[in-house]
Amino acid sequence: MKAFTLELTATPDSIDELGHVNNAVWVQWIQQVATGHWEAAAPEAHKDAYIWVVVRHEIDYLRALGPDETVAARTWVADKAQGAKFDRFMEFTGADGRVHVRARTVWALLDKASGRPLRVTDAILAPFR
């Protein structure tokens, strides 16, 4: 499995009334990291032909992240797909090495032109392994 890492820092607009990164921001970060992984690893032909949509999020919020704090977001994909769907995993780790958020998201592959679901093939997953 090839992991992809992206560093993210909590900006003032990420912080909620409790003084930490809002849960909705974590969801946006999950999408940003997943999209970054796709952009970094997928061949241009795949980017032109396919698009991904989230069908499920499972998120464990383990530790709060405060203003100006940074996390390393690491993502990787499951070894096998199930039809049009596959699992993506993420961990957001602070500078102290402790995980703040852990997530499993299920993504579905669509044909960009028609919007119809497509089976995820080994060729599509190969750049992420």
pLDDT digits (tens, 9 = 90+) for 36-60: 999 999 999 999 999 999 999 999 9
| Residue 56 domain boundaries | 4-128
pTM for the model: 0.93
Q: Based on the number of CB atoms within 10 Å of its own CB, is 100 exposed (0-12), middle (13-18) or buried (19 or more)?
A: buried
How many structural domains are present in the chain? 1
pLDDT digits (tens, 9 = 90+) for 101-112: 999 999 999 999
Neighbouring C-beta atoms of residue 64, cutoff 10 Å: 14
For 74, the token pair is 């690491």
Q: What is the CATH number of the domain that holds 37?
A: 3.10.129.10
3-class state of residue 90 by DSSP: strand
